[in-house]
Every structure is written in structure tokens, then in C-alpha cells.
Chains A and B, each alone.
Chain A
């Protein structure tokens, strides 16, 4: 994986993060700022991995390059290391501030999000914000993600089901009442 950022100068420390998934490994992360390699501190909390650099920044812009190797499990979803804050562009153009490139060892295909095929084993796209993951075809079925224990969904499932249930009940009930009413009511 390779990400190239062109950002407005900022005094805030650079913090990158990735939301990990089962059976996926991120290794050999290398981060360069304006051509200089950074020594970042890695920390893990729950599903999050963060990399933080607190070196003061200078200059008119920040050119950040992030490279790492990722090994896939069965889901085909590959987490992307991304900045922990919205990207501040350093120019007035409408172009996105980050270019994300995925290079496969062998031939592969990115299915999500939309990317352009650059060569048989490379896909890339420019974005206004970094995606949190890509989905690739030809995943290594070395890990059975389907059998993993479900995580905490925060009650989203029952809330969503209740909302849909209310809507599904409401429409026919209302229409049944409206059909029964006459024109003078």
C-alpha cells in the first residue's frame, strides 16, 4: 500500500490510524515527511492501531508518504492507514489531497472503493479523504472470518430494525384509514 498526501502546513502532530480486521496484518510501515523518514510510536487500543509523530513541522506544505505491507485474510477487506483528522489541502484546486495506491504481489483487483487500474498489479485513485479500507478480489482464504465471534455493534441492529418496523407498519395503516374516509370528512 502507498498513500501520498499533500497537506497544508500545520503545527499539530501527525497521527495515523487503522481500524483492524480479523486475519489482516499490517507490517513494515514507513512514513516520510518531506522526504525525511519518521520514527513513529505505535499504540494499540481495541481494534485501533495508531502511529504518532510529534516532530515540529515547517515549510509551506507537508508532503507525506505512507507505505506498508498488508496481508489479507478471508474477507478481502484490507484496512487502510489514514490520518486521524480531516485532510487540509494546501492548494485551491478541487483535487483530492491524497492518492492511494494498492500494489499486489500477483495480479489482483480492487472492488471497493472506485479505483483506476494502472497496471496488471496496481490500482490507484485520488480522494478528498482517505478510505478506511479497500476490498480486493483474490483474497487468501487462510482465515475463516465468518466463524469469528460477533463484536459490539452498539445496539445499531435493534435500533435499525425498530425504525424499519415502525415505517413498515405506519404506511399501510395510514393508507387503510385514508381509503376509508370520504370526501366530506
Chain B
């Protein structure tokens, strides 16, 4: 690593910081109402909306973690992309169109409206807070690794720098900033991959050459390192989790209409396909080029720093920096909204002025950016394993109450609360039992099954929601299921 390269790296990171803070300042006035700060005034069109959905999903778990996963396990993990897309189709069919009937800003708003319960809202907000703190820590950890290796920074300082960038533009411009930085992320990722992937293939060889080298290194790399059982469990956790992910729901609330939302999901597929192929080829070709990295998560930093020509490497590294700071921003905004909007305003200060609400949101962003820093400093696991674990927790407590609540009239407040508590508890218990498939079930599968069982059993035994509420959610499709 030459001094000039290091200087260039910090110059482009500095320029990026100035740019995102500029975006934040530009949107500061527009984000002066709660709806502006948390839902961009419901103004996003299909392309920026698609970039926003993609930018939320394609986190450090993809550009750092998935490249590392492909590096150590080969092609099999790539099958999670189409499997995860099934979750997006579930979102397009069963979640996005109906959830927009609630004039809400956050996912817990849906819980309060559908189940007529601030308890349901509070529990959902609390669980989101916990799970997203873990997920945000993975973004900070990836940033710490990248800045540590490429920039020569101490890991703890690097984590603080990444947290600082993420917090700065989020606290200024809220969802508006997230949407525009999401578009910037899409452009940078696609541009850097469009340049660097062909260059890598030109030098490492064709897919056939890569396959021959990988087969010689370890035949499992070109076959099924992960079995179908594992891939389906991981994809179910991520895909179904995404269908009800609070940051994606916030993005859905930010779009102009239901049709816009469906189109945005389609454009997000397009972005994801390009990035998925790029991530796969980066991981595989890095394994061929440098087979014994000290840690798989270093594949992207080393690719940018030591393999690609300097200017191209800097572009790939900048795209990675944008990736984890942007997804970090979306997660931070969701965590902050859970605290400021769902707990502080809705439970304790319902009469708060717009100014107080926005101030509370900004203070929550500042406060809750610190918690994941503490987790990231511990480096519990590989980045992608942390993301997967958080996704499993998320799907276990959110999927059933949201999807069933939107599509089954008989779902009740008590059923939803029991479903969330049962799903979360089961997934946690399964995770700590030690065996990956205790009783033949992955922790997410066990969580969803218990969550579903609790929802149906408890809902049957308790009184349904009022007719007015049910009409709001089911008016145009008649009665579904028994009353």
C-alpha cells in the first residue's frame, strides 16, 4: 500500500462524506415534518423507490459478507438470490398493497391500526430495536474491517468513523437522504461492478477456467457446499424477513402509490440481479487469485487494495463504503423511528408538535447509533452470519403477524402479541441450543412455526377486531376465512 494510494482512498472517502452531508443538508428543510423525515413525504417514484429497496437489502452482508461467503463456499450460496426473491413476490402480492391502507409511517403503526393495540405496537417496536441494533453492528463491523485493512486505521476508530458517516446524513435528511444516497449507491455499485467484473474475468479467466481452478482447490466450491436444506432455511429467513422488514415497509410507505411500489420491487430485482452476479464472480475469482486469505470477509478489501488497478480498486472500495453506510442509515432511521415515533410520540406524547416529533427522531438517530458500535467492537462472527442471524430473528417474530394480520380477518390483538413473543422466544432458544437443526428444524423455521401456531390458536380463542378496522383492511375482497 503506497502513501499515494492511501491518500487517494481518504480523499474519495472525504468527498463521499461531504457529498452525503450535502444531500442531508439539502433535504434538511424538506424533512422538517415527521412524515417528511420518516417517509420522504410519500414522494418516491418507481426507479428511486427500486433503488431504495435494493439499497436497504444489499448491505455489507452482500458486498463484504457475500463476497466472503462465495470466497469460502463457492457458488451454492448464490441460489439464495432467486429464493429470496420469492419473499419479494410475497411482499408484492400480500403485504405492500394492503399495508398502504394504513396512513402510517412505520411497521408498528400497522400493528396499532390492525390490532387496535398500543401493546402490539410497543412490543413490535422493542423487538425491532433489538434486532436492528444487531444488524447495524454488522454494517459497522464490515466498515471497521475495510477501513482497518485499506486505510491502516485501528479497528475501533474505523468503526467510529463508519458510525459517524452513517449518523451524519441520516440525522440531517432522514428518509429523503436515504432515498437519494440509495440512488447514489445503486449507480456506484453498478458502475464499479460493470468495470471491475469484466476486468477480473479478463485476467483470472472465463467461468470455465475459474471452475477448473476452484475444482482443483476444493470440488465443493463448484457444487453444493451448502445443501438445499441450509439454502432454503437461509433464504426463507432473509426473503420472508424482507417481505415484512421494517426498513422496507418504511420505504413502501414512502412511495407514491401501490402500483409504484410493485414496479419499484421489479426495478429492485434488476439492480439485485446485476449486483448478485457481480458479487458471485468477485468471490469466486478472488478464491482463484488468492486462495489462502486470513479471513473470507477480507476478500473485497483485498480485491480493491491489492488485485485491481488502483483507480478501479478505489471505485470498488468506495462502492463498499457507500453500501454499508447507506444500509446502516436505513437501519438507523428504522431504529430511531421505533423509539421516537412508536414509543415516545405514540405511547407517551401523543399531542407532540411536528417540531418536537422531528427533534425526537433526530435525537433518537444520534442516541441509537452508539449501541451497535459497542456490539461491532466485539466482532461476534463473520459479517454475513450476523446478518443472517438477525434476519432469522426478524422473520420469526414479524412474518406471521404481518402477513396473516393483513390477509386473515380473524387475526386478533392477543393472537398477534402471542405470535410475536412465541416466535422470538423460540428462535432465540433454537439458536442457543447448539445443534443447527434441533428436531430437524432451523431456528427461523421453528420460530415461524411457533409464531403461526400461536397466532391461529390464540386468535380463535379471543375476540376479533372491530368491524370498522376490519373494513379498512378487507373492504374490497369480501370476507376471508371464518369469523
Nearest-Cβ distance from residue B285 to partner chain A, whole angstroms: 11
User: B207 an interface residue at 8 Å Cβ cutoff?
Assistant: yes
Interface string of A162-185 (1 = CB under 8 A from B): 011011101100110011011111
User: A141 an interface residue at 8 Å Cβ cutoff?
Assistant: no
User: B273 an interface residue at 8 Å Cβ cutoff?
Assistant: yes
Picked from A125, A131, A154, A164, the residue with its CB within 8 Å of the CB of B289 is A131
User: A83 an interface residue at 8 Å Cβ cutoff?
Assistant: yes
Picked from A94, A113, A159, A170, the residue with its CB within 8 Å of the CB of B307 is A113
User: B236 an interface residue at 8 Å Cβ cutoff?
Assistant: no
Contact partners of A94 in chain B: CB under 8 A: 148-149, 152
Picked from B207, B257, B267, B476, the residue with its CB within 8 Å of the CB of A156 is B207
Interface string of B1-33 (1 = CB under 8 A from A): 110000000000000000000000000000000
Q: Is the CB of A170 within 8 A of B269?
A: yes
Contact partners of A147 in chain B: CB under 8 A: none
Q: Is the CB of A184 within 8 A of B290?
A: no
**Chain A, Cβ-Cβ closest to B202:** A112
Contact partners of A185 in chain B: CB under 8 A: 97, 258
Picked from A19, A157, A160, the residue with its CB within 8 Å of the CB of B217 is A19
Q: Is the CB of A179 within 8 A of B293?
A: no
Picked from B92, B148, B215, B258, the residue with its CB within 8 Å of the CB of A153 is B215
Picked from A83, A153, A174, the residue with its CB within 8 Å of the CB of B265 is A174
Interface centre among A84, A132, A135 (most CB of B within 10 A): A132
Q: Is the CB of A167 within 8 A of B307?
A: no
Nearest-Cβ distance from residue A48 to partner chain B, whole angstroms: 7
Q: How far is it, in angstroms, between the C-alpha of A164 and the C-alpha of B278 when the chains are bound?
A: 11
Q: A155-B222, A174-B265 are in contact. Are A163 and B79 (CB under 8 A)?
A: yes
Contact partners of A116 in chain B: CB under 8 A: 2
Q: A178-B262, A182-B259 are in contact. Are A132 and B288 (CB under 8 A)?
A: yes
User: A58 an interface residue at 8 Å Cβ cutoff?
Assistant: no
Contact partners of B89 in chain A: CB under 8 A: 174
Interface centre among B149, B152, B258, B292 (most CB of A within 10 A): B292
Q: A156-B75, A178-B262 are in contact. Are A171 and B290 (CB under 8 A)?
A: no
Contact partners of B79 in chain A: CB under 8 A: 163
User: A111 an interface residue at 8 Å Cβ cutoff?
Assistant: yes
The interface size of chain A toward B, counting residues with CB under 8 Å, comes to: 56
Name the interface size band of chain B. 35 or more
Nearest-Cβ distance from residue B201 to partner chain A, whole angstroms: 11
Q: How far is it, in angstroms, between the C-alpha of A87 and the C-alpha of B290 when the chains are bound?
A: 12
**Chain A, Cβ-Cβ closest to B46:** A178
Pick the interface stretch among B52-60, B308-316, B399-407. B308-316
User: B212 an interface residue at 8 Å Cβ cutoff?
Assistant: yes
User: A142 an interface residue at 8 Å Cβ cutoff?
Assistant: no
Nearest-Cβ distance from residue B200 to partner chain A, whole angstroms: 9
Contact partners of A167 in chain B: CB under 8 A: 81-82, 269, 273, 276-277
Q: Is the CB of A86 within 8 A of B292?
A: yes
Q: Is the CB of B75 within 8 A of A184?
A: no
Q: Is the CB of A184 within 8 A of B476?
A: yes
Picked from B289, B295, B302, the residue with its CB within 8 Å of the CB of A132 is B289
Q: Is the CB of A157 within 8 A of B211?
A: yes
**Chain A, Cβ-Cβ closest to B274:** A167
Q: Which of B's residues lie within 8 Å of A, judged by CB? A: 1-2, 75, 78-79, 81-82, 85, 89, 92, 97, 148-149, 152, 203-204, 207-217, 219, 221-223, 257-259, 262-263, 265-267, 269-270, 273, 276-277, 280, 284, 288-295, 298, 302, 306-310, 313, 476
| 20 chain-A/chain-B pairs, Cβ below 8 angstroms | A84-B292, A86-B295, A94-B149, A113-B290, A128-B298, A130-B290, A132-B213, A132-B289, A151-B216, A154-B212, A154-B215, A156-B210, A159-B222, A163-B82, A163-B277, A164-B277, A174-B269, A175-B267, A178-B259, A184-B476
Q: 3 tightest A-B contacts by CB?
A: A153-B211, A154-B222, A156-B211
